[in-house]
């Protein structure tokens, strides 16, 4: 992990990824930069593991997805964790994050770690507004410094509670966060709800993202890249990258029966070629309309935090009643 030329700086800037780091460097933000390269809303994040043990689980998952080489991914996690554990070498740590689900989960992990390992040992501050960091100009990034606020004990405690709930093996603790005051972290409540929406919905078994994908295709978007863009437009706060979206499309393409199909011999790709158009199968239309439930036939095998969704462990989100319920096995 490259930390830049200012490796002796007194400030450690932790942020959501490399795009933000690039802009921060152009803005001449003082300090060194630590991008938190992990898509925590995707794949296993089980409870009861140390930082290093969890990093091994996360690295194995990301490698299995083919999102980088084994050597690079393992090295990035080890270097990231070593920098975090060296926090006492700095006089100040600033967290730069966004309001969406992707970033809010990263905030929870980092604040939970400081809650247990370095509370009150070093000044911690947070910059988090309802804006995306990567597209900012250098001047806009530098202007965010005026929103820097010291992290409070209340925020650390709330983050630790939420991080534990996220890693629980049922979604009940996570859901219960909706009944407490989460205003210390202003964007947490919306992130809680958005993650719950990624559970199969109680009507047809689709996650919100899968539902949006089918709706976009039904509405006329056929090319995979366009479907991704259409789904992003339906989000209140965009959080999902195309790699995670591709996994969801593949689930729909290769389920039994498939809900989507491509022309014979074609594979899913970002190509704009019109011979790779997605279409909804009759079974997909039945699921989309609520006439059938995908969970009755889908061999779903997916993790959301510490919850392993599989045929004998389906949890469903009911948006109308705002409730999460375990689906009974027939």
pLDDT (tens digit, 9 = 90+) per residue, 57-72? 999 999 999 999 999 9
Residue from 211, 185, 159, 219 nearest 316 by CA: 211
Predicted pLDDT of residue 274? 57
Alpha helices (H) along 181-267: 188-196, 208-218, 224-233, 242-254
Predicted pLDDT of residue 268? 80
Predicted pLDDT of residue 264? 86
Topology of domain 201-299, CATH = Arc Repressor Mutant, subunit A (1.10.10)
Q: What is the CATH number of domain 11-168?
A: 3.40.1360.10
Alpha carbons within 13 A on the beta-carbon side of 197: 16
Predicted pLDDT of residue 120? 77
- CATH 1.10.10 domain locations along the chain: 201-299
- CATH 3.40.1360.10 domain locations along the chain: 11-168
Alpha helices (H) along the chain: 18-26, 51-65, 70-85, 101-117, 138-143, 153-166, 172-176, 188-196, 208-218, 224-233, 242-254, 282-289
**Over the stretch 7-43, which tens digit does the pLDDT of each residue have?**
447 999 999 999 999 999 999 999 999 999 999 999 9
Q: Tell me how far apart the alpha carbons of residues 92 and 130 are, in angstroms, rounded to a whole number.
A: 24
Residues 6 or more apart whose CB falls under 8 angstroms from that of 162 comprise 108, 174, 177, 182, 185, 188, 192
Which residue's entry shows tokens 């803005």?
27
Residue from 221, 218, 209, 214 nearest 272 by CA: 221
Predicted pLDDT of residue 32? 95
Q: Tell me how far apart the alpha carbons of residues 316 and 308 are, in angstroms, rounded to a whole number.
A: 13
Q: What pTM was estimated for this model as a whole?
A: 0.94
Predicted pLDDT of residue 329? 63
Compute the CA torsion angle 13, 133, 191, 179 (nearest 10 deg).
60
Predicted pLDDT of residue 7? 44
Structure tokens at 271: 């190509």
Q: Tell me how far apart the alpha carbons of residues 52 and 54 are, in angstroms, rounded to a whole number.
A: 5
Termini Cα distance of the chain: 50
Q: Please list the ranges in the chain whose pLDDT falls under 70.
A: 1-8, 269-275, 329-330
Q: Tell me how far apart the alpha carbons of residues 39 and 59 are, in angstroms, rounded to a whole number.
A: 11
HEC-encoded secondary structure of 202-219: CCCCCCHHHHHHHHHHHC
């Amino acid at each position: 992990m490259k930390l830049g030329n200012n490796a002796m700086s007194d400030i450690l800037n932790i942020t959501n990824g490399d795009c933000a780091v690039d802009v921060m460097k152009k803005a001449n933000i003082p300090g060194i930069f630590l991008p938190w390269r992990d898509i925590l809303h995707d794949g296993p994040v089980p409870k009861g593991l140390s930082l290093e043990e969890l990093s091994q689980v996360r690295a194995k998952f990301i490698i299995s997805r083919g999102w980088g080489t084994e050597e690079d991914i393992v090295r990035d996690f080890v270097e990231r964790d070593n920098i975090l554990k060296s926090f006492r070498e700095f006089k100040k740590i600033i967290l730069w994050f966004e309001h969406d689900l992707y970033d809010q989960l990263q905030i929870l992990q980092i604040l939970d770690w400081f809650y247990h390992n370095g509370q009150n040992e070093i000044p911690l501050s947070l910059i988090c507004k309802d804006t995306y960091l990567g597209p900012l100009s250098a001047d806009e990034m530098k202007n965010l410094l005026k929103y820097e606020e010291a992290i409070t004990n209340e925020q650390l405690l709330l983050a630790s509670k939420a991080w534990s709930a996220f890693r629980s093996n049922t979604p009940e603790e996570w859901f219960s966060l909706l009944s407490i005051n989460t205003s210390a972290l202003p964007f947490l409540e919306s992130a809680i709800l958005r993650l719950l929406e990624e559970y199969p919905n109680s009507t047809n078994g689709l996650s919100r993202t899968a539902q949006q994908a089918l709706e976009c295709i039904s509405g006329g978007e056929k090319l995979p890249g366009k479907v991704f863009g259409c789904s992003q437009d339906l989000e209140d706060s965009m959080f999902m990258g195309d790699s995670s979206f591709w996994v969801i499309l593949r689930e729909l393409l290769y389920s039994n029966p498939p809900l989507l199909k491509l022309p014979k011999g074609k594979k899913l790709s970002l190509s704009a070629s019109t011979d790779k158009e997605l279409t909804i199968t009759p079974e997909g239309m039945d699921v989309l309309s609520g006439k059938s439930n995908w969970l009755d036939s889908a061999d779903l095998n997916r993790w959301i935090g510490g919850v392993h969704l599989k045929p004998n462990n389906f949890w469903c989100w009911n948006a109308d009643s705002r409730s999460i319920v375990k689906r009974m096995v027939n």
